[in-house]
């Protein structure tokens, strides 16, 4: 694999719901190692585009390639095993289990135990991976805390840890800073940047300042179509993007 390889390639994705054209001929290329952001006003098609990529929604037309393989129409359970993980606002956290148990289940499910001949080695590998992820995400001190007792910000962190434990090739983040205070937002921005050192990231984000700090490339959606795509500097200076953002 060389730098510049595409992890994700969407071509001409299209999806209508009844009379609503939610995603209208959108193409996207995400190179290995990059952090690509999707922005756009409410109803511009961001969530639908994510669901088309993960296999939660079937496109009316268009193709999705992941790591060189056509995954169009493949269910998420199968796509996830190929290394595409999504982190969606605490939906994956088991509230009554501890932080450690939550991450261990994900590490185990991702097959970190199966490459070993003796079960004890498999268990040790899963424990190692779990500890490594908790360290990385900054939850090591909270390993024995029951998930439901974590602060909202830490629950979001745990959700990220669960996604990371599966060692994904591409991580999809849906508004990782939604509902967060400014200090929590800053900590999450730092964390996402840290994760991006190992994992390619595609994220939806509302906060323009976050996007402009963090993204390598930005796709701006408007009424289901790609309004613009470029670097943070290009997006900042684009008159049409400004207009869409000012007028909602």
Tell me which residues touch ligand ADP (CB under 6 A).
17, 20, 22, 40, 42-48
Distance CA 103, CA 8 (A): 26
Shortest CB 68 distance to ligand ADP, Å = 27
Nearer to ligand ADP among residue 45 and residue 59 (C-beta) = 45
The nearest distance, CB 15 to ligand ADP, in angstroms, is 8
User: Cβ distance 117 to 124 under 8 Å?
Assistant: no
Comparing CB distances to ligand ADP, the nearer of 48 and 92 is 48
Closest CA to 43 of 22, 57, 27: 22
Triad 226, 232, 238: Cα angle to 5°: 60
For the bound state, the minimum distance from the C-beta of residue 91 to ligand ADP, rounded and expressed in Å, comes to 16
Reduce the DSSP state of residue 142 to 3 states and report it. helix
Shortest distance, position 138 Cβ to ligand ADP, whole Å = 29
CA–CA separation, 158 vs 154, rounded Å? 6
Cβ-based nearer residue to ligand ADP, 139 or 202: 202
Q: Return d(Cα 86, Cα 169) in angstroms, integer.
A: 11
CA–CA gap between residue 165 and residue 103 (Å, rounded): 6
CA–CA separation, 131 vs 140, rounded Å? 7
Give Rg (Cα) of the chain: 18
Q: How far is the CB of 97 from ligand ADP (least distance, A)?
A: 30
Q: Which of 237, 219, 187, 175 is nearest to 10 (CA)?
A: 219
Distance CA 85, CA 244 (A): 30
Residue the block writes with tokens 């199966």:
114
In the block, residue with structure tokens 């289940």 = 105
């Amino acid at each position: 694999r060389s730098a510049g390889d595409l992890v994700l390639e969407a071509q001409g994705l299209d999806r209508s719901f009844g009379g609503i054209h939610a995603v209208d001929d959108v193409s996207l290329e995400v190179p290995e190692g990059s952090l690509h952001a999707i922005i756009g006003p409410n109803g511009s098609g961001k969530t639908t585009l994510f669901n088309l990529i993960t296999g939660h929604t079937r496109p009316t037309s268009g193709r999705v390639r992941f790591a060189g393989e056509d995954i169009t129409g493949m269910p998420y359970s199968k796509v996830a095993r190929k290394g595409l993980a999504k982190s969606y606002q605490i939906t994956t956290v088991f509230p009554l289990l501890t932080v450690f148990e939550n991450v261990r289940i994900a590490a185990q499910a991702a097959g970190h135990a199966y490459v070993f001949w003796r079960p004890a080695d498999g268990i040790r590998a899963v424990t190692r991976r779990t500890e490594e992820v908790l360290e990385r995400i900054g939850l090591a001190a909270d390993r024995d805390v029951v998930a439901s007792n974590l602060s909202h910000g830490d629950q979001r962190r745990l959700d990220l840890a669960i996604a990371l434990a599966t060692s994904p090739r591409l991580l999809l983040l849906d508004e990782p800073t939604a509902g967060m205070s400014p200090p929590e937002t800053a900590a999450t921005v730092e964390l996402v940047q840290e994760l991006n050192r190992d994992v390619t990231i595609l994220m939806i984000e509302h906060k323009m300042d976050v996007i402009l700090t963090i993204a390598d490339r930005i796709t701006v959606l408007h009424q289901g179509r790609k309004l613009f795509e470029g670097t943070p500097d290009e997006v900042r200076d684009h008159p049409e993007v400004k207009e869409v953002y000012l007028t909602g």
